[in-house]
Amino acid sequence: MRHYIKRFSAATKTNVFTYLLVIVSFATAQILQGAGVMSSSLKGQLVPICAYIVMAVSLNLTVGILGELSLGHAGFMSVGAFAGVVAAVSLENIVVIPEVRLALAIIVGAVFAALAGILIGIPVLRLRGDYLAIVTLAFGEIISNIINCLYVGLDSRGLHISVLTSANALGLDPSGQVIINGPVGASGTDKISSFTAGFILILITLVIVQNLIRSRTGRAILAVRDNRISAESVGINITKYKMIAFVVSAALAGAAGVLFALNINTIVPTKFNFNMSILILVFVVLGGLGNIWGSIIAAAVLTVLPEALRGFNNYRMLVYAIVLILIMLLTNSNQIKSFLSRMQSQSPAKGAEKV
Amino acid sequence: MSITKTKLVPIPSKNMIPERDVTKPPILECRSLGIDFGGLTAVNDFNLAIGRTEIAGLIGPNGAGKTTVFNLLTKVYQPTRGVILMDGLDTLDKTTVQLSKMGIARTFQNIRLFANLSVGDNVKIGLHNQMKYGTLSGILRLPAYWKQEKFARDRVRELLSIFDMQDLVDEQAGSLPYGAQRRLEIVRALATNPTLLLLDEPAAGMNPSETAELMENIVRIRDMFQIAVFLIEHDMKLVMGICEGICVVNFGCVIAKGTPDEIRNNPEVIKAYLGERKHA
């Protein structure tokens, strides 16, 4: 029995460390904000950082835990963002409390992104190899183009949707309001996201992802990643568990999208392009495949970095690239590796973090 | 070790199974099984029955099609011809996953563990279909999760103790010594609660004392779980020592079937293994 207690605590330690990391960072940020020492540009970054962290953790579920490459994670973010904006605007007069409205919008965004995930997953997850990467890459582009010609309006008669025309084709009442205006996107929405909401969303994401990994379902997902032939031989339905991981990942990306979109006045479909997908993938790879707290740190640091490098003016992105390369070299150096493995032998669980 | 000389008797399909199992239908029966890969016939007219508590062996020279037979039984490949009956049920249209649920478990010639996961998690993954809680119970940590996880922890320890491996539960599976990895694969297969255990070269890479221990353990597992074991092995000491019925294949065809004594003296088998005897 002793061994199980030891093992249990090793797994729990990593999880607790991750929660602590988030809680302490949140508290520090709140204190800095309260003391007035935080720069306004960093203040503006707080909610996007939360959204990116949720994105990175959710993509890690697909790439690190399931072991399938997804190149269209921003597509799910986009689906969630615009579904969430429509929900938030529609509920403006029904649900008065902004926090509740935000929560409802996040749920709607997550559901729509999950549906998109199911739609993509049904044909693709039956296949082996790089098909998921190819299809999600296309999906990201397709979604941004669909929303580019999508018009949604709200008036006293309810929601109006039109494709490939213009906002006039919606035939709104004089009192009506255009929510999504094709390439112009959604503008003039209430900024109801907050840092606290982002913090709570990160915590919920962590509970979902970490509990999922340490359950029967999560072990089946890890089994599929490690050796699909023996996973099948012990009776694990590969497509089903790939689907669960992928859809949960998509739903969380959708939720992050809502948080992101309701933090700014104007959100355009082209914001969620291929570059955004790659940016999230960089967070995941740099933080370590399968390593949840690594994703969190990478997402936070790499979101702040471009702002912090503003002093370099035109050479900003050049320096950013050099920093990326340096981080990669550093995390691959033997000294750092042996240091990390010493840390790992003390706290986190093995396996899930090694790919 | 309690190896008694077993007599093989025919069942209606003319296949042979041990006398003590004859009152019940065989756990596995293959009739005229065959598979072609393009123009190449890898297995042809393969007939075999395995009794419910039989330890059966499958031997033959390299490339004879032994592992292909295992892959057919577990539906990694779909047979081109013939019938496989598992516990009397036709397995046509069944998938690997369904056959696992019907009671077939296997190990692999080249070890296929979940190398990055712990020993305990490897066995727990074997228990996958014995555990009954869903994804939501897992995420929300509902009572079903705690109850089933406790069952799994206890069961893992119980199963690992068959090979006295319960102290290795936290070790990473890929870092175990070779022999322990082979044993862990057997434990993982047993975790699926099988009625037929397929072992693909279980003694490969083992030294003579490890092999002797493995022989004892295979017999012990059969007696403990009252299951059938079907094994591929090149180590004749193991095959002749514990198998009750032996099936010899060469070039995808069954060339002989029978008890160890019959096989040892079968001229066809001697020819397949040693080549034609030159007469002076």
**Domains contained in chain B, number:** 1
CATH number of the structural domain spanning residue B22: 3.40.50.300
Q: B141 at the A interface (CB within 8 A)?
A: yes
Cβ contact B18:B222 at 8 Å: no
CA distance B158 to chain A (A): 11
CA quadruple A116, A118, A119, A125: dihedral positive or negative? positive
Q: What is the pLDDT of residue A166?
A: 73
Q: What is the pLDDT of residue B2?
A: 46
3 state SS of B74: coil
Give percent of chain B with pLDDT exceeding 70. Answer: 96
CA angle B129, B134, A347 (to 5 degrees): 90
Q: Which two tokens stand for residue B75?
A: 């539906």
Average pLDDT, chain B: 90
CA dihedral of residues B85, B90, B96, B97 (deg, nearest 10): -120
Q: What is the pLDDT of residue B6?
A: 76
Region B263-272: mean pLDDT is: 86
Confidence of residue B216 (pLDDT cuts 50, 70, 90): very high
Residue of B nearest to A227 (CA): B114
Question: Which site among B78, B118, B121, B153 would you substitute to test the A interface, given the most A Cβ atoms closer than 10 Å to its Cβ?
Answer: B121
Q: What is the pLDDT of residue A218?
A: 95
Region B32-56: mean pLDDT is: 91
Q: What is the pLDDT of residue A354?
A: 39
Residue of B nearest to A215 (CA): B138
Maximum CA pair distance of chain A? 72
Q: B196 at the A interface (CB within 8 A)?
A: no
> Which chain A residues are within 8 Å of B198, Cβ to Cβ?
none
Q: What is the pLDDT of residue A185?
A: 84
Maximum CA pair distance of chain B? 80
Phi and psi at A69, nearest 5°, equal: -80, 125
Cross-chain Cβ contact B135/A237 below 8 Å: no
Residue B240 pLDDT exceeds 50: yes
State the residue range of the domain holding B216.
8-103+194-274
CA distance B279 to chain A (A): 48
**Of residues A219, A231, A232, nearest to B124 (C-beta):** A219
Q: Which two tokens stand for residue B93?
A: 């249209």
Q: Among A227, A212, A222, A256, which Cα is nearest to A242's?
A: A222
Confidence of residue B9 (pLDDT cuts 50, 70, 90): confident
Is B155 inside a domain boundary?
Answer: no
Q: How confident is the prediction along chain A (355 residues), in pLDDT tens digits per residue?
A: 445 555 555 677 888 889 999 999 999 998 998 888 888 888 888 999 999 999 999 999 999 999 999 999 999 999 999 999 999 998 888 888 889 999 999 999 999 999 999 999 999 888 877 888 999 999 999 998 999 888 888 887 778 788 877 777 777 777 778 888 888 888 878 888 899 999 999 999 999 999 999 999 999 999 999 999 999 999 999 999 999 999 999 999 999 999 999 999 889 988 898 989 999 999 999 888 888 999 999 999 988 888 788 778 788 778 888 888 888 888 777 777 777 667 665 544 444 433 3
Name the CATH topology of A2-346: ABC transporter involved in vitamin B12 uptake, BtuC (1.10.3470)
**Residue A265 DSSP class:** S
> Which chain A residues are within 8 Å of B166, Cβ to Cβ?
3
Domain ranges in chain A are 2-346
Q: What is the pLDDT of residue A10?
A: 67
Region B224-230: mean pLDDT is: 95
> Which chain A residues are within 8 Å of B113, Cβ to Cβ?
227, 230
Residue B154 pLDDT exceeds 80: yes
> Which chain B residues are within 8 Å of A211, Cβ to Cβ?
138-141
CA distance A351 to chain B (A): 5
Region B8-34: mean pLDDT is: 85
Q: What is the pLDDT of residue B90?
A: 92
Q: What is the pLDDT of residue B278?
A: 62
Q: What is the pLDDT of residue B16?
A: 81
Task: Point out the least confidently predicted range of A98-107, A339-348, B29-38, B115-124.
Answer: A339-348
Q: B110 at the A interface (CB within 8 A)?
A: no
**Of residues B101, B138, B172, nearest to A235 (C-beta):** B101
Q: A2 at the B interface (CB within 8 A)?
A: no
Q: What is the pLDDT of residue A347?
A: 45
Residue of B nearest to A7 (CA): B170
Question: Which site among A230, A242, A249, A341 would you substitute to test the B interface, given the most B Cβ atoms closer than 10 Å to its Cβ?
Answer: A230
Q: A341 at the B interface (CB within 8 A)?
A: no
CA angle B38, B69, B58 (to 5 degrees): 140
CA distance A259 to chain B (A): 22
CA angle A160, A161, A166 (to 5 degrees): 105
> Which chain B residues are within 8 Å of A215, Cβ to Cβ?
133, 135, 137-139, 145
Burial bucket for residue B257 (CB in 10 Å: 0-12, 13-18, 19+): buried
Query: pLDDT of B48-83, one tens digit each?
Result: 999 999 999 999 988 888 999 999 999 999 999 999
Is B67 inside a domain boundary?
Answer: yes
Query: pLDDT of B163-195, one tens digit each?
Result: 999 999 999 999 999 989 999 999 999 999 999
Instruction: Select the more confidently predicted residue: B136 or B4.
Output: B136
Burial bucket for residue B212 (CB in 10 Å: 0-12, 13-18, 19+): middle
Is B269 inside a domain boundary?
Answer: yes
Is B55 inside a domain boundary?
Answer: yes
Q: What is the pLDDT of residue A355?
A: 36
Region B199-220: mean pLDDT is: 92
Cross-chain Cβ contact B120/A244 below 8 Å: no
